[in-house]
Amino acid sequence: MHCADNIGMGKGNKKKKEEKKTSKYLLPNVDVTKMPGAMTDMHWNSFQEDLHKDATFHLAKNAICNVPVAKVAVKREEFVKIHQTYSVHLPENKISNQKSSGRCWIFALLNCLRYDAIKNMNLPNDFELSQTYLHFWDKVERANYFLEGMLDNLDEPLDSRLMGWFFTGFWSDGGQWQMLLNLIDKYGLVPKHIMPETASSINTGAMNQAFTQKLQDFTCQFRKMHAAGASIDQLRAEKEKMMKVIYRIAAVHLGEPPSEFALQWRDKDKKFHREDSMTPREFYNNFVGVNLHDYVCLIHCPQKTKPFYKTYTVKYLGNVVGGNPVKYLNVEMDVFKEATVKQLKDDMPVWFGCDVGKYLDRTSGINDATMWDYESVYGTNYTMDKAERLDYGQSLMTHAMALTGVDLDKNKNPVQWRIENSWGDTSGDKGFYSMTDSWFDEFMYGVAIHKKYIDKKYLDMLEIEPVVLDPWDPMGSLA
C-alpha cells in the first residue's frame, strides 16, 4: 500500500513539473530594431569595441568602481592652491548648524546680523539669534500666503502648471532675502536661548509633511465650498479656522514664540546686564539695529530672456501677505563683484545665494569650477555656459551662506572667497568654506548689498516697474 502510494505521488509530482515547464513565460519574439531611433546589438558591440581600445577607460572604470568619482577626478595641482589666508578677512563667530533642515537662508542672515548683536551687547562669539523663531513665523505666514494663492486661483485647473507648482514647488524650508525682511519687519528677533531648537526644527521632514497634507486638504475644502456657491468672504472666514490649525501644528513642532521676554547676560568684560521685559521687535531695534531696507538684492543672471540692468520679481514668491515683494536688480558680474568686495572691505558680511552642490568637495569645503577633471573620466566635454545651464535646468540657486572674506591679488582682483556656512564645524576649515573666483563667476546668483556700495545709476533702476517672472523661473528658486 505504501509503495503504491509512493508511486502515485511520484507520478503526480512529475505531472506537475511538466505543467510548470510548459507554462514558463517566454519573452515575445518582437523585433524593435527596425524602428527609427532604436539601438541595436550592432551599436552596443561597436561602443564596447571602442571602449576596449581606450586605455583611459580601463583606468577610470577600475578606479571609480572602487572609489567615488569626485575623488578620482580631482586635480591635485588645483586642490593644493586653495589656502585659508585672505587679504580681507572679517572677525568670525562660532559656526552654526542647520542640521537636517532647509533653513540656510535664515541661518545666513542671522549669521550676518549677529555681528551687530555681538558688538552691541559685547558678547562672546558663540552667541546666536534664534533661527527657530523666524522659522515658526515663516511657516505660519507662508501657509496663509499659500491659502491666499488658492483663493486667487479657485477656477484654475488642478492639473495646470501653476497648481502643480503650488503643490510641489511652493512648500519647503527654503526662502529668499525679501522674505527674511518681511519676517523681521513684522516680528523682530530673539536670542537663540529664548526660542531654542527642537527635534522638528533640526529635522523638518515630518513637520513639513503635516503642513503639506493640511494645506492640500484645505485647498480641497475651498474648492468644494466655491463650487457650492460660497462667497470670498465666507471662504476667508473659513480660512481663519484653517490658520488656527496651522498655528497649532507649528506650535506643536517648534514651540510657541514669545510676545515678550526678559533678558540678562554677562558680557565679555564680566559686566552683568538685565532687561526685565521687551518684545522681539524691541530687542531687534535696541540690540541689532540693522535697517534691512537699506539693502538691495543683486542677481547675476545672463539668460537672454533677462536683460541686465532691469528689475525682476517672481509671481507668488513670498511668505507674508502684504509684505515686501521679491525684487531683484540684474547686473553684470563686474558690478556684482565690485559691490560685494566693497561691503566686505568695510567689515560687513554679505548674505548670498548660490548653487552650492556644483564642484564642491564637502570634506575640505572647497568650491572650485576647475578642480575636477570629469571630462577625462567620462571622455566627453561639457559645453554649456552659465546662461545655458539656467535655460536647461542644470543650475539654479540652492543654498544661502555668508561671505566673510576675500583674497585680492596685487591688482585688487578677487582670487578666492571665504564663506561662513551653516553645516556645523566638521567640514571645511572648522565649518568655513572656500570659493575660488572662477566658481563665483559660474555659480553665484544673488547677494544682498547695502545701497551705499551700489552706484546711484543702478539704484535708480529699482524705481522702474519690475518684470514679473513665472513662479517656476530659475530666479524664483528658494535657497
Q: Are the C-beta atoms of 105 and 151 separated by less than 8 Å?
A: no
Longest dimension (CA), the chain: 108
Active site residue 450: no
Residues 6 or more apart in contact with residue 151 via CB below 8 angstroms: 222, 232, 235, 236, 239
Look up residue 17 and give its three cell numbers: 513539473
| Residue where the block lists cell 567689515 | 347
Q: Which is nearest to 143 in space by CA: 230, 51, 245, 66?
A: 245
Alpha-carbon distance of 340 to 406, in angstroms, equals: 9
Establish whether 89 is a catalytic residue. no
Backbone φ, ψ for residue 103 (5° rounding): -90, 20
Question: Could you give the CA distance from residue 4 to residue 453 in angstroms, rounded to a whole number?
Answer: 102
Per the DSSP assignment, residues forming a β-bridge with 361 are 366
The catalytic position among 93, 104, 111, 135 is 104
58 is catalytic: no
Distance of alpha carbon 478 from alpha carbon 457, whole angstroms: 29
Contact 402, 348 (CB under 8 A): no
Torsion of CA 78, 84, 85, 87, to 10 degrees: 80
Among 93, 111, 319, 421, the one annotated catalytic: 421
Burial label for 376, CB within 10 Å (0-12, 13-18, 19+), is middle
Calpha distance 43→185 (Å, rounded): 63
Query: How many Å apart are CA 219 and CA 215, to the nearest integer?
Result: 6
Do residues 422 and 401 make contact, with C-beta atoms less than 8 angstroms apart? Answer: yes
Residue 431 contacts residue 423 (beta carbons within 8 Å)? yes
Catalytic (active-site) positions: 104, 399, 421
